[in-house]
Amino acid sequence: MKTQTYTLNLGPQHPSTHGVFQIVLELDGETVVKATPVPGYLHRGIEKLAEARTYAQVIPYTDRMDYMAGMLMNWGYVAAVEKLMGIEVPERAEYIRVIVGELSRIASHLIATGAYAGDIGGLTGFIYTFRDREDILDMLEMISGSRMTFSYFRIGGVAEDFPAEFFPAVKKFIEKFPSCCDEYDGLITGNEIFQVRTKKVGVITPEAAINYSLSGPVLRGSGINYDMRKARPYSVYDRFDFEVPLGCNGDCFDRYRIRILEMRQSLRIVEQALEQLPEGPIMAKVPKVLKPPAGDAYAEIESSKGLFGAYVVSDGSPKPYRVHFRRPSFINLGYLGKLCEGWKIADVIAILGSIDIVLGEVDC
Amino acid sequence: MANFQLPAELMQALLEKFPNIEVQENQMVIVSADDLIPFMSEVKENPDYALDLLTNLTAAEYNDHFETVYNLISITNGFDLMVKVKLTDKDNPSVPSLCPLWGGANWQERETYDLMGINFTDYPGHPTRILLLDTFNGHPLRKDFKWEGGRE
Amino acid sequence: MGENIFTGIASGLSGLLDGAGVPVLWNDVILMVVKLVAILVFILVNALWLVYMERKVAAYVQCRIGPNRVGPKGLLQTAADIGKLLSKEFTWNKYWDIVPYILAPVLIFVPPFMIYAVLPFGENMAAIDMNIGLFYFAAVASLTSIILWAGGWASNNKYSLVGAMRVVAQMVSYELPLVLALLGVVMLTGTLNMSEIVYAQENVWFIFTQPLAFLIYFVAGLAETNRTPFCLVEGESEIIAGPYTEYSGMGFAMFFLTEYASVMLISAMCTVAFLGGWLAPFGLTFIPSWLWFFLKMYVMIFIFMWVRWTYPRLRVDQLMGFGWKVLIPLCLANIFVTGVGMYIYRAIGW
């Protein structure tokens, strides 16, 4: 019998492409013959916009990249400018950065976990993780005054010190959160159907993971021990005791599972950072008008999605000459086309969800 | 911040092997476009360096030249290295594609081509636009780019 | 006292018409129409209530409150929703095959309604006490797939088409275990009449003598009604809404309400075949038989909802594999064991 493949435009308006992402699928029945990802629907030209702003004015734009973990995006950019100017950040500010950064990471992983459960079809997991994310957003709102786009970091430190009501809130959260993780494990991870849907699906070999520059949970899901916080500690991460969870099969389940394990580790870091939190200033002595010396600098941090890097070129004027962001979601997506081939439509959603993208970041 | 630069003796070995490269004080290595592929294969394949993860690939425009910037990381050794290629031909900047070495270069080169207009030779097929429409004119990150139309 | 309320009304009406000199034929026709209209109202009210109940159960499972603004405790929420859907403009698209496109939501309600006509809601409370009731159920229930397929095809949308193909594949695969599971019950009773099946459970419900058949029936029932974990037909996160993608307004509402009518139907059939129908357990006969039927049905519906809001969705090849490689062999084994058991039972001569 003569059969024919057909093209299906999955997205950009689709419930589970995590925003306006398009994949053009060539399908044979329900089996994917060829998948072509088409990013760019949310391209706002942040890199170009940054060239017309001062160094400090770029910070709010970085929030709009990975809006699920805005703090970490702030951090990546600020780190590059600080490296360029050679600014030494006060210790208390570093600790505050670690605490808000890890809370942001938990919030981001909660979305990834919940949305993944929703992608697989169990909507209840989605609501559970959002319930707990709300606590984090409340805390971050106490600190920065905003729930999603924080713009909390400053070049040389952070905007405000912790308010008094933050400490009891975070203490309560640290006590409560491990049991929430157990709840996700019970509801989502332990479910047989969830495991059947995710195990052995979308396997990324360690070689392919390195070759395709993947990073974050996607890289570690394939068993490669590379977490920048551990491998090349920046800020004060070398002072905390935490583990880097690794997967062994590189399938969707491993990538999903690593996020839950990472949340537990992030919680440990927050706990230790709060104990060690030193007194002192929260801002380095920085001139009012930032004029970094001519030159360039590239700094990376480990964001929730992977390695977030910022490349800043200065020509000595108050405006950055060129800014480039290495967005982990964008680069992790580069492997999606190959990864989806041969799987069913439902698996495409499962694979895409396991990579955990945020379109603000992909399209920048 | 801890230092993860290449040790001096490894850097020296590189300099011996590739006499044309130029090393700046903060270990930015400037490579000529012809040397790029052999240089990159050396630092990738040689277990002494094992710079196997291409994290970043981008480009910047200067008054008289373009620069492509590559950031490499070694997963086993923890080193990092920043490599730059100066492209003096401003009308037709082109540089060898890294796709044969790293699959991850594919999308980043497409993005660089799309926004900065750098041509990557030996790219499998011609790099197509990735973020902007295929019908878009010009490369927005260039300094002479002017947006016509849009909101007043 | 409550026991005979509905049969009483029916015979009262019949007597009234008789007294007014209406011929016997017309008397029967009027009575039948009244019964069917009563069932239609029953289905619609229940479907409305079930939508509300589903949202409340979902909210409870998900630590939310659920609808609570329209009417007391949000009870009028579904009515408001239906009102909104009714008032929506019917959009027109030249790519649609318009006749089947319109017919599908109109006809979709017919198969469940046809089956409700033969369901015994209580003692002597089947509108039509058909002696091949179970067979009729199996035959009519499978009509749904054709109607859904027609809607999906006529929409001329690839998501609809994929969904429609899934409908056909899934319904055909799971019809078999559904019917084969019921066959175990038929073997025990030797009848296809639903009332007689219920009477046969006076001593022991068939859920105890046919536990495997009950489980298979339940799983296949989930698949027949397109409920999670077998909600591939809608598959919200994959194919938007399957065959319903192109429908809006009342067309969509009809599909939506039919889903609940089907859930209720599968639960009602389960009650009849396995849970003793209207029979009162533990001799609690002071509760009327129709209320017992109702209670058992709602327990089943609640389990359906509970499963839906707990489980994720299977993949299409896993679904087919499970149906053909697990459920059908189990059904055949169940029939075999039942047959051997009955033979031994007779041979011993209890």
Type of residue at C234: E
- What CATH number has the domain spanning B8-121? 3.30.460.80
**In chain A, what residues touch C62 (CB-CB under 8 Å)?**
123-124, 127-128
- Cα-to-chain-centroid distance, residue C123: 20
Report CB contact under 8 Å: C316, A119: no
Residue A68 C-alpha, separation from nearest chain B C-alpha, in angstroms: 21
Q: Is the pLDDT of residue C10 over 80?
A: no
Size of interface A-C (CB pairs under 8 A): 80
* The pair of three-digit structure tokens given for residue A187, joined into one six-digit string: 């509801």
Cα separations in angstroms, C347 against C183, C341, C342, C343: 22, 10, 8, 6
- B128: nearest CA partner in chain A: A38
Report the Cα B94 to chain-centroid distance in Å: 11
Who's near C199: CB < 8 A, 6+ residues apart? none
Look at residue C224 in the predicted model and tell me its pLDDT. 86
Q: Which residues contact C177 (CB under 8 A, 6 or more apart)?
A: C216, C217, C219, C220, C323, C327, C328, C330, C331
Chains touching chain C, criterion 3+ CB pairs below 8 Å: A
Can you give the pLDDT at residue C350? Answer: 62
pLDDT for the residue numbered B149 = 65
pLDDT for res A98: 92
When pLDDT is averaged across residues C119-147 and rounded to a whole number, the result is 83
Strand B119-121 with B22-23, pairing: unpaired
Q: What is the pLDDT of residue A109?
A: 92
A123 — contact with chain C (CB < 8 Å)? yes
Print burial letters for C18-45: b (CB count within 10 Å at least 16), e (below 16).
Answer: eeeeeeeeebeeebeeebeeebeeebee
Task: Please tell me the pTM assigned to this model.
Answer: 0.89
Chains contacting A (3 or more CB pairs within 8 Å) = B, C
**A213: nearest CB among B4, B102, B115:** B102
Mutate to test the interface with A, among B70, B107, B110 (most CBs of A within 10 A): B107
A-chain residues near C232 (CB < 8 A):
346
Output the pLDDT for position B1: 44
Contact state of B103 with A363 under an 8 Å Cβ cutoff: no
Token pair of A282, please? Answer: 């929260």
Q: Is C116 in contact with C86 (CB distance < 8 Å)?
A: no
CA distances for A77 relative to A82, A162, A312, B84, C233, angstroms: 9, 22, 8, 21, 45
Residues of A in contact with B82 (CB under 8 A): 298
Question: Residue C225 above 60 pLDDT?
Answer: yes
CB contact under 8 A, C64 and A127: yes
pLDDT band at A1 (very low <50, low <70, confident <90, very high): confident
Whole-number pLDDT of residue A269: 92
3-state secondary structure C238-304: HHCCHHHCCCCHHHHHHHHHHHHHHHHHHHHHHHHHHCCCCCCHHHCCCCCHHHHHHHHHHHHHHHH
Q: Does A36 touch chain C (CB under 8 A)?
A: no
Higher pLDDT, A326 or B79: A326
Is the Cβ pair B58, A210 closer than 8 Å?
no
Q: Is the minimum CB–CB distance between A12 and chain C shorter than 8 Å? A: no
Q: Which residue in chain C is spatially nearest to A353 when comparing CA positions?
A: C237
Looking at residue B150, what is its pLDDT?
62
- Give the domain ranges of chain B: 8-121
Contact between chain A and chain B (3 or more Cβ pairs less than 8 Å apart): yes
Q: Between chains, do A194 and C312 touch, taking CB under 8 Å as contact?
A: yes
In tens digits, chain B (152 residues) has pLDDT values of 456 777 778 788 888 888 788 888 777 888 888 888 888 888 888 888 888 888 899 998 888 889 999 988 888 888 888 888 988 888 888 888 888 888 888 888 888 888 888 888 877 777 788 888 888 888 888 888 877 766 65
Mind listing the pLDDT tens digit for each residue in A98-122?
999 999 999 999 999 999 998 888 8
Interface predicted TM-score of the whole assembly (ipTM), two decimals: 0.88
For C32-43, how does the pLDDT look when each residue is reduced to its tens digit (9 = 90+)? 888 888 888 888
Whether residue C150 is predicted with pLDDT greater than 80 in this model: the reply is yes
Above 60 in pLDDT, residue C94? yes
pLDDT tens, residue by residue, A60-86: 999 888 888 889 999 999 999 998 888
Q: What confidence category does residue A228 fall into, taking pLDDT thresholds of 50, 70 and 90? A: confident
Residues of chain C in contact with residue A345, where contact means CB-CB under 8 angstroms, are 162, 238-239
Measure Cα distances from A346 to A5, A184, A357, C230 in Å.
Answer: 17, 22, 17, 13
| Domain spans, chain A | 41-335
Pairing state between β A22-28 and A6-10: antiparallel
Answer CATH for A41-335 from 1.10.645.10, 3.50.50.100, 3.90.70.10, 1.10.10.10: 1.10.645.10
Helix (H, G, I), strand (E, B), or coil: what is residue B56?
A: strand
Q: Is the pLDDT of residue C331 over 60?
A: yes
Structure tokens at C210: 């046919």
What whole-number percentage of chain A has pLDDT above 90? 30
A-chain CB neighbours of C309 within 8 Å are: 123-124
CA C240 to chain A, closest CA, distance in angstroms equals: 7
* Residues in chain A closer than 8 A to B103 (CB atoms): 208, 211-213, 334-335
Q: Do A334 and B75 touch (CB under 8 A)?
A: no
Contact C/B (≥3 CB pairs under 8 Å): no
Average pLDDT, integer, range A25-36: 89
